[in-house]
Amino acid sequence: MTVDLQKFVQVTGEDFTIDGEKIFFRGFGLGTWMNLEHFMIGLPGTDTMIKQAFQDVYGAERSEQFFHRFLLEFMDERDFAYLKSLGINSLRLPFNYKYFIDDQRPGQYKEEGFIYLDYIVSLCEKYEIYAILDLHSAPGGQNPDWHCDTSSGLPLLWEYGALRDTVIGMWGHIARHYRDNSWVAGYDIVNEPALVKDADVFNDFYQKVVAEIRKHDEHHIIFIEGNAFTTDFSMLDPIDDPQVAYEFHFYPFVDEPAVLDPKMDRTVRQAIFKKAFEKMLTIREKYKRPLWCGEFGVSLQPDSIGFDVSLLEDMIDLFEANNVSWALWTYKDAASMALTYPKKDTAWLTFTRKIKEVWNQEEEQAKGEALVDYMAETYFQPISKEFRYPLQFRMRSIMQAICVEQNLKPFLQQLPWEEAYELPASFHFDQCETFPDLEQLMRKYTKA
């Protein structure tokens, strides 16, 4: 079959193009869909832990029915009509590797993942919105945090070649499936690698995965992410492939939490953002390829939405002024950091409000760090900030297991199956509300 490359988004110098014309990605991520994230969905634990809790309480068959419904009803055509009305032209689709790989049967690929990805990709095609496929959770974990579904707090992907080989083969399988689909703009190989210690391992992985994809698909863009949650590209050598682009994520408040203080003068905050952003621009200087900010965002709350949107505006202004495509994290969640969220009286928010009385992410993180400090001060000598950093992820992974057992499961046990099964309906577009201030901001840039 002959492929018409004019229909595919391509890399041309430092730009993305289609049929020779420049295209600038403005879009969203579809977070907490095919990879659950606890604070975004309002349930403690990793993706696997949450699903196991449902299975323990309701049984395997009912748990499977629940998440099948969740995945197919989280987004529907009304969401896409709304996105189109905002002028959005791209959607980053995070997924967990477990939809394609059974850990007990390596080398055998599951087709389950295509049921859900194809569903969203078909809607992308209908509404002319480009999809970018994002491996958000890799075997063993590509970083130590909960959002890659690691239960150990360790980034074991970088310790075991067998795990990386599994990812490489899986991307070949996915590329073979989508090779002729021009509404898939590209493949985001692995989300936010972190604590990678061996540059040879890092480069070898990317070289091999690109080579495997190219056995099946010569024309889709491949997005490469750096170390340190894709903020550090010093380890990575250039890849000799014409359709490789580079992706970073931009959360400047991680290093400078003071910027989240509304009392800070906006010009001071903008200067801090600009300084952090200029470091990201060095990625383009190094590789001479297009840049995409695949994630940025802040917590969005009704009582602070004006300030919250001003933070996003200051970040997007930097992207727009410097030819950097972007995807806001995220489009929809359970009222955490998304444009769209279930109404207050929906079943999902009513249920998760009860859980938040005994659990939330901020306390989990603070307690994890405090427990590491307590252990060091009580039983050992003081430890350095550098050593403390990776340890707190491991402590939090233990806490997540406890929170699932002591917080999530008891609430599920009190919730009859008939009521639980109706929870996903809370995410239907007609059961959701949006932030008009953020809608207006999107239209400012898309001219919709």
pLDDT in tens, 293-326: 999 999 999 999 999 999 999 999 999 999 999 9
- Is-catalytic flag, 77? no
What is the chain's mean pLDDT, rounded? 96
C-alpha distance across the termini of the chain, in Å: 37
Q: Which parts of 86-147 fold into alpha helices (H)?
A: 112-126
Catalytic residue among 37, 192, 212, 225: 192
Question: Considering the chain, what percentage of its residues have pLDDT values greater than 90?
Answer: 92
Q: Quick one: CA torsion of 170, 176, 178, 182, rounded to 10 degrees?
A: 130
pLDDT at 161 over 70: yes
CB of 355 within 8 A of CB of 42?
yes
pLDDT of residue 245: 98
pLDDT of residue 50: 98
- 35-49, 100-114, 250-264: lowest mean pLDDT where? 100-114
pLDDT at 131 over 90: yes
State which residues form the domain around 362: 5-446
pLDDT of residue 2: 58
Distance CA 351, CA 345 (A): 10
- The pLDDT-based confidence of 5 (bands split at 50, 70, 90) is confident
**Tokens (6 digits) for 415:** 């919730």
Question: Considering the chain, what percentage of its residues have pLDDT values greater than 70?
Answer: 99
pLDDT at 217 over 70: yes
pLDDT at 270 over 70: yes
pLDDT of residue 367: 86
**Tokens (6 digits) for 422:** 């109706």
pLDDT of residue 168: 98
Residue 401: partners with Cβ closer than 8 Å, 6 or more residues away: 45, 49, 151
For the stretch 392-442, pLDDT in tens is 999 999 999 999 999 999 999 999 999 999 999 999 999 999 999 999 999
**Tokens (6 digits) for 315:** 């970040």
- Is-catalytic flag, 419? no
Three-state secondary-structure class, residue 86: coil
Domain count, the chain: 1
CATH code for the domain of 209: 3.20.20.80
Catalytic residue among 37, 225, 295, 364: 295
